[in-house]
Structure 1
Amino acid sequence: MNYKSLAIIFSAVLASSMCFAQTAVVEDFKKSETTQQGKEYPQVNSEGRVRVQISAPEAKKVQLDIGAVKYDLVKDEKGVWTGESAPQDEGFHYYQLNIDGASVPDPGSLYFYGASRWGSGIEVPAKDQDFYALKNVPHGEVREVTYFSKTTNGMRRCFVYTPPGYNSSDKKYPVLYLQHGGGENETGWSSQGHANLIMDNLIAEGKANPFIIVMDNGTWARPTQPRPAQNTQSGRPGLPDGWADEFKNTLLNDIVPMIDANYRTLANQQNRAMAGLSMGGMQTRVITLANPEVFSHVGMFSGGSISTEDISKSPNFKDKVKLLFVSYGSRELENPREGSANPKTNTEALKQAGINTHFYVSPQTAHEWQSWRRSLKEFAQLLFK
């Protein structure tokens, strides 16, 4: 055998070993906190890989669909399909199974409302998960509230968090109106976001003042007409003028009065805040710019930013708003949307103009719930001080 042949063999062995090293999976999988009671799957390992299993003897092909990537599962002799994903970011992720082309929830997971449907979710343990952990501290309540809306001429539902001690005193509280993202609903912030646990822990540690949180449904349906190239109101491609009007009117004319009438609130602008994630952040932007006399604290999580030009068109915003908080996941800033403004530059420009602004970046996360949980944690500590 000559040296050339030996070199070829060595290269092949090296390539094979490198491929194996890249695909080797650490076998320390454990059930997730989002695995249904009595079920063994889904599971997560120390690398953040998600493993699923389902019995489908007649199926020809089964895939795990998570993070916009599909992973093939392998069938055993009993017709049970098993497989796992590549490592995922820390925190909560929506996912589904694809069985012979049909996308379905995993019967082993708890269900969450996202992507405009009830489906599966998985919790990848995070190094900083302590701030939303269930602890032995005083807890508030999350109440389901139904009410009639004159704006939409129908019954609606919201969830209201009242802080620890609300039921045992006559104290009045500030209010944060906190909105979900596109394809989600009023259950998102208390279910996927753990907003109540974040607040309970911050209050117990003396890091945040107690306040009420109202979580309503801001779902918006796109009209059938063609998308415009650009919108002057949103600053984002594809959103028509007036897209947030129905929820704006519902919030101002129905939700805020209903909350002030039924809860012990400090019913004034100085003690009223609005924030939201993604679509909810964009709604927050539109509504607070148009109504700075209603909200004094503004939070936008992965939902755009406010520019000096926006402020020039809303002259009372600078004088009325006490805080503007803008946040993103670090991976979002690495891959900004085409045509979007630089949110950090916009926010810093407003600080130079004399507005109290804060810009927060969630490390090693993208457009996902871990970014927004961390954002709420940071935002809550600045509210109503």
Structure 2
Amino acid sequence: MKKQTLLLIFAIIFMHISTYSQQALWGGQQIISPEINDDNSVTFRLFAPEVTAVQITGDFLPTEKIQTPYGEMDAPGKAELAKDEKGIWSFTTNALTPELYGYSFIVEGLTISDPNNPFLIRDVGTVTNVFIISGEQADLYKVNDIPHGTVAKRWYASSGLDMKRRLTVYTPPGYEQSTEKYPVLYLLHGAGGDEEAWMDLGRTSQIMDNLINQGKAKPMLVVMPNGNVIQDAAPGEGRDGFYKPQFMVSKQMDGTYEENFMDIVNFTENNYKVIADKEHRAIAGLSMGGYHSMHISRYYPNTFDYVGLFSAAFVPRDGVTSKVYENIDETLKSQKENGYKLYWISIGTSDFLYDANQEFKQKLDDLDMNYQYSESEGGHIWRNWRVYLSDFVPLLFK
């Protein structure tokens, strides 16, 4: 074969590979969205000349009430985009307060992500675009030019569940070089979440890095397990491959997770440089994770000195029987008698679990158990849970 022919073949192959590899670069719309303006208003844009209606939904808009199987809840509102002569739809917000925000477009009734914003997070089975307005509380959610901890995805063996399971572990800046031992916060997700939730939606590593750097929090490990005992890992990360996540799965709140939680503690204490005693263990969680934290901390009543319940559920589900949920008052009394440093409850005033939290507070009052209580505006939302974590962590291990 002639040299010129070979060169031509190689050139064609190279052009094919190059074209294929560049598809992701040239496939997007060449417009800016979202654009954060000088006054902290935000402009969103979508090029869609052939469609007749585009809306945006996001947590920067006034909320709407919706009916769910769990009662009336707040949902992000909607706003209309306007179309210009070039076929670009746009919407500009009022000035926004500092926060991590999520949004999606609705094109003729179909919810889609913003093709100009590659930054997304998954909450249960919904994927949402995100952006940050800097300042105040939101600066805790940013990656700043400071020392950073390490985030690892680890697998541990659960003898009680007869499987290897995945969890997320944050170790503080300097952990690898240090010879000292650290305290541990076990941080639990809500229904529909998994070992990814507190990292992706809760911005845990950013919050921890920033609080530690500011001297507001002790350096500590944060262990974030998967609370769904039928799963070995988050959807797409385990043996079951890619499947659509569900809000509620079987055995979520039937006592199985609580009974086997010490597998997680034992793995942590056998594999990391931690202080393995009650004074240096904390447990906290949101919603279902608050439910788990309350029951784990009283089921093992001499194990955790710090307990955080964020928008927590409290009552076992109908028809569930488990030894974990027996003698609740007696085990709470044992927890009280063994002593603890902090029992912390936080809830939004429009949260659908607000009344359940007031009832649980009354139970603690009747048992003469000390606790700290905090209310915020809003409902059952990640905006609140990021704040609760930011407020809770500085109180630990003092």
Instruction: Give the drift of 1:54.
Output: 1.8
Instruction: Give the drift of 1:303.
Output: 1.9
Which residue is equivalent to 1:248? 258
Q: TM-score, normalised by structure 1?
A: 0.71
Instruction: Give the drift of 1:353.
Output: 5.6
Which residue is equivalent to 2:86? 78
Which residue is equivalent to 1:65? 57
After superposition, the CA RMSD in angstroms is: 3.5
- In 2, distance between residues paired with 1:324 and 1:93? 30
Instruction: Give the drift of 1:105.
Output: 2.0
Which residue is equivalent to 2:342? 323
Which residue is equivalent to 1:108? 116
Find the partner of 1:97 among 67, 87, 105: 105
Contact 1:71 1:84 in 2 (8 A): no
- In 1, distance between residues paired with 2:94 and 2:353? 27
Q: Which runs of structure 2 are paired with 1:23-62 in the superposition (5 Å)? A: 40-45=32-37, 50-62=42-54
AA aligned opposite 2:57: D
Q: Secondary structure at the match of 1:40?
A: coil
Which residue is equivalent to 1:226? none
Which residue is equivalent to 1:19? none
- In 2, distance between residues paired with 1:262 and 1:123? 35
What residue ranges of structure 2 are gaps of 5+ in the alignment?
Answer: 1-27, 60-75, 231-247, 316-326
Which residue is equivalent to 1:292? 301
Contact 1:64 1:84 in 2 (8 A): no
Find the partner of 2:371 among 357, 373, 377: 357
Find the partner of 2:286 among 272, 277, 286: 277
Instruction: Give the drift of 1:49.
Output: 5.2
Find the partner of 1:202 among 194, 211, 223: 211
Which residue is equivalent to 2:194? 185
AA aligned opposite 2:332: S
Contact 2:269 2:276 in 1 (8 A): yes
AA aligned opposite 2:148: H
Contact 2:342 2:371 in 1 (8 A): yes
Which residue is equivalent to 1:218? 227
Contact 1:162 1:213 in 2 (8 A): yes
AA aligned opposite 1:380: V
- Per-residue deviation, residues 258-296 of structure 1 (Å, max 9, x unmatched): 212211122233322111123322222232232223322
What residue ranges of structure 1 are gaps of 5+ in the alignment?
Answer: 1-35, 222-237
- In 2, distance between residues paired with 1:302 and 1:81? 38
Pair 1:242–1:216, CA change in 2 (3 A): closer
Pair 1:130–1:248, CA change in 2 (3 A): same
Matched, 1:383 2:396: yes
Contact 1:92 1:368 in 2 (8 A): no
How high is the sequence identity, in percent, across the aligned residues? 32
Pair 1:173–1:83, CA change in 2 (3 A): same
Contact 2:291 2:313 in 1 (8 A): yes
Pair 1:241–1:260, CA change in 2 (3 A): closer
- Per-residue deviation, residues 126-173 of structure 1 (Å, max 9, x unmatched): 533344443443322111223444455544322211112211122221
Q: Secondary structure at the match of 1:128?
A: helix
Pair 1:77–1:246, CA change in 2 (3 A): farther
Instruction: Give the drift of 1:209.
Output: 2.0
Contact 1:66 1:85 in 2 (8 A): no
